Amino acid sequence: MEYEHTCMIRGDGGRALRAILDQICNKWTLLVVATLDQGILRFTDLHHQIPGISQRMLTLTLRNLERDGLITRTVHAEVPPRVEYALTPTGESLIPPALALAGWAIANAPGIEASREAYAEYRQNG
Amino acid sequence: MEYEHTCMIRGDGGRALRAILDQICNKWTLLVVATLDQGILRFTDLHHQIPGISQRMLTLTLRNLERDGLITRTVHAEVPPRVEYALTPTGESLIPPALALAGWAIANAPGIEASREAYAEYRQNG
DNA sequence: CCGTATCCGAAATGATACTG
DNA sequence: CAGTATCATTTCGGATACGG
């Protein structure tokens, strides 16, 4: 039992954590951050590398990350325009904990899926 | 740069991770899991210890966690009824990565807040 | 005590069209 | 190329009332 440590989560009723989680755990943020871990990328690069994301959601996600200081946005005065995105040190520091969670998710995905099927079965037949 | 590792996140377009994240990163799940880390608790215990949660959302959150095999739900045939919730080993194994993320969130909250204020300032004045 | 049922408003996301 | 604007849809969560 590691109850002493979970005060980090429960501390202020979870407000500090959830303020960040709200930002991190939307549909695209972690995917954008992970993609930018390969280095400087342009808008179109990201759009191509992240399957399914719309221009609108990519723009919104990038703007929020920039606002929070996790990425930089550099506009080059050229024609055609070139805009480059890169992780800041803060943004890079998010990668290890994100990987920890991703590792857990992937390791437990089969078990969770099995549990869901068993649960659905149980709800149907009793 | 740790790009080689982020394939865990980007692997399948992030689907494996997001399937879990959808479940984990709603408003209450992590808070319920962290609270249950102290041991077996009843519905009312949880309701009292988690400020602001409604009966409805507590029920929904607990049902989803039970469905995914992260908690057990034990009904005792008594009057008045007694229902006990506890983490499964899978549920407990979520605590360390959750703490890693919480640690990051709390460590970086001041910097992010500062960045947000600077960004708002910038948007107002130019 | 431990929920379920219903309704409603807010927020997130997607589709589509248009622009400097 | 790198967005913005607008609209429709979906999903989430809160409030309230009721039930075994």
- How does pLDDT run along chain A (126 residues), one tens digit per residue? 567 789 888 877 677 777 777 788 788 999 999 999 999 999 999 999 999 999 999 999 999 999 999 999 999 999 999 999 999 999 999 999 999 988 998 899 999 999 999 998 888 776
pTM: 0.91
Residue in the block written with tokens 């549990």: A115
Distances (CA, A) of A96 to A29, A69, A125, B87: 15, 17, 43, 25
Q: What is the pLDDT of residues B26-75, one digit of tens each?
A: 889 999 999 999 999 999 999 999 999 999 999 999 999 999 999 999 99
Q: Do residues B69 and B93 touch, judged by C-beta distance below 8 A?
A: no
CA of A113 to C1' of D5 (A): 40
CA of B54 to C1' of C3 (A): 12
User: Which chain B residues touch A70 with a CB distance below 8 Å?
Assistant: 112
